[in-house]
Amino acid sequence: MSVPVVAVDGPAGAGKSSASRGLARRLGFAHVDTGAMYRAVGVLAAERNVDPADDAGLGALVRGLGFEVSPAGDRLLVDGRDLSGAIRTARAGELASRVSARPVVRERLVGLQRALGAAGRVVMEGRDIGTVVFPEAAVKFYLTAAPAERARRRAAELRAKGETVDEAALARDIARRDERDSGRAHSPLRPAADAVVLDTTALALDEVVAAMEREVRRRLGPAV
């Protein structure tokens, strides 16, 4: 594509959201968290008693939803309702993993995500951005970290929001989610063949963002 899209993929707790937001700020790009869209579908499905395995029900739900993402990626409105807070819970993450395994949901949201990134100058994060949503992205990253560190980070994030967290149980939930996300037949979680893989286990956030920025500017030069 003629305008740059930076794709950032990876499992839960690898630091995608914080790093993607930081990178977008440094580059002056918009930021889109596609995981937030799946979380919103999961939350709304639960509210409306739609089973995560009910493709007909999920299809009817997602067909009628309108998504609005703030340029900074910090607010998500669905049909005018701000779900930014409701989607940032452990339960919402579990629901997102379940509904995102359904092709009827992914097909609808992938189309919306491509529309959000069509103008370029965007850092888009998720599970399949570099492999499915924007396989032609100018730069692709895959962030990962040791499972124990990912669980520790996610626990700290949830505690900061006032949730009571059993870190051992959270680690088990993350492991199950990894297995489900990587093993699904439709758009499995995996690095794109040309992605830059960054292990963030021992890196501070600023170090991760700086490494990503260097790579983007090296590849895109005057485009950014």
User: What are the pLDDT digits (tens) for 17-31?
Assistant: 999 999 999 999 999
pLDDT at residue 141, rounded to an integer: 98
User: What are the pLDDT digits (tens) for 147-194?
Assistant: 999 999 988 888 888 888 888 888 888 888 888 888 777 778 899 999
Host domain of residue 76: 5-223
**Which residue is listed with tokens 């895959």?**
142
Domain count, the chain: 1
- Residue 166 to residue 17: CA distance in whole angstroms: 22
- Burial of 32-70, coded b for 16+ CB within 10 Å and e otherwise, reads bbbbbbbbbbbbbbbeeebebebeebbbebbeeeebebe
pLDDT at residue 177, rounded to an integer: 83
Contact by Cβ (8 Å): 7, 140 = yes
Question: CATH no. for residue 172?
Answer: 3.40.50.300
Strand partners, 197: 142
pTM, 2 dp: 0.90
